[in-house]
């Protein structure tokens, strides 16, 4: 039995999220498993570094699978990409020791959320960025984003359907990068709750639009109640960009995404 790690890039527009769901609901996990199972000529089960919501994208989602099938690495890679839909691509594959696990060995996960702030909506980036036409106070949003760094109880920032048994997470960095009309939230944590990044972005957008001051974030944390926070930002602008693993696994280092996502810091 061999174990392989893969890095997956996908546009989540047509999928109901990463995780396999009930029959008739198209998920990324199931779509990729079906293709790999054909190549292996046996059932394949994928384990991902994280779970993404419907409509969320990824530039390097790490996953692993076990198989008895003997295929060259190029056979797995080229065979899968020739059969996968055009909005999913496996970027790399690596044979791993059985001590590797895409979910449980990840030390941190990193997301970027891209806002396009312009009176006119974008066409080429439809469903790939979140369009905000109102003027935004970038300085206040940048200041507010820093309040999410450190260890906090994120009860107010998770969805009601969140299944995690505890809401405390450590955010190693949370910063906003402004470049022309683009505003990119870059956040890394030891784990994320359901809708956590989208709810954080929603609060930052409300502050940017002048609805609240920066210290409103403190009140939301203190409430430990989802109703105290603001809107849930759309999934369109959200990207899973990186999972951090111990250096011993020597996973490939990939670009964080296209130029409009890979902003200078």
Catalytic residues, which ones?
Answer: 53
Tokens of 147: 């309040």
Query: In terms of DSSP H, where are the helices of the chain?
Result: 28-40, 73-83, 138-145, 196-208, 216-223
Strand pairing class (238-244; 57-67): parallel
Q: How far apart are CA 108 and CA 244, in angstroms?
A: 5
The C-alpha atoms of residue 167 and residue 236 are separated, in whole angstroms, by 25
The answer to whether 94 and 57 have CB atoms below 8 angstroms apart is no
Question: Would you call 14 helix, strand, or coil by DSSP?
Answer: helix
Give every CB contact of residue 74 below 8 A, 6+ residues apart in sequence: none
- Residue 111 pairs in a beta bridge with 187, 240
Backbone conformation region of residue 195, classed left if phi is above 0, alpha if psi is from -120 to 50, else beta = left
Buried b (16+ CB within 10 A) or exposed e, 100-121: bebeebbebbbbbbbbbbeeee
Two tokens, residue 236: 């369109």
């Amino acid at each position: 039995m061999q174990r392989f790690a893969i890095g997956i890039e996908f546009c989540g527009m047509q999928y109901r999220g990463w995780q396999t769901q009930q029959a008739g609901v198209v998920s990324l996990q199931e779509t990729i498993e079906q293709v790999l199972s054909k190549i292996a000529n046996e059932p394949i089960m994928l384990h991902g570094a994280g779970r993404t919501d419907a409509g969320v994208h990824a530039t390097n989602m790490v996953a692993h699978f076990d198989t008895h099938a003997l295929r060259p690495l190029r056979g797995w890679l080229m065979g899968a990409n020739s059969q996968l839909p055009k909005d999913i691509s496996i970027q790399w594959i690596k044979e791993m020791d059985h001590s590797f696990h895409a979910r449980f060995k990840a030390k941190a996960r990193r997301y970027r959320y891209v806002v396009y702030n312009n009176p006119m909506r974008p066409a080429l980036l439809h469903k790939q960025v979140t369009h905000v036409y109102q003027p935004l106070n970038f300085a206040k949003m940048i200041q507010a984003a820093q309040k999410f760094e450190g260890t906090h109880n994120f009860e107010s920032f998770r969805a009601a359907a969140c299944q995690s048994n505890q809401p405390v997470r450590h955010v190693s960095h949370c910063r906003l990068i402004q470049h022309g009309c683009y505003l990119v939230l870059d956040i890394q944590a030891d784990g994320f709750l359901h809708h956590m990044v989208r709810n954080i972005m929603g609060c930052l957008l409300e502050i940017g639009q002048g609805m609240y001051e920066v210290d409103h974030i403190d009140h939301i944390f203190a409430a430990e109640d989802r109703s105290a926070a603001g809107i849930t930002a759309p999934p369109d602008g959200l990207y899973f960009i990186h999972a951090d693993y111990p250096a011993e696994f020597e996973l490939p280092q990939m670009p964080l995404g296209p130029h409009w996502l890979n902003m200078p810091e």
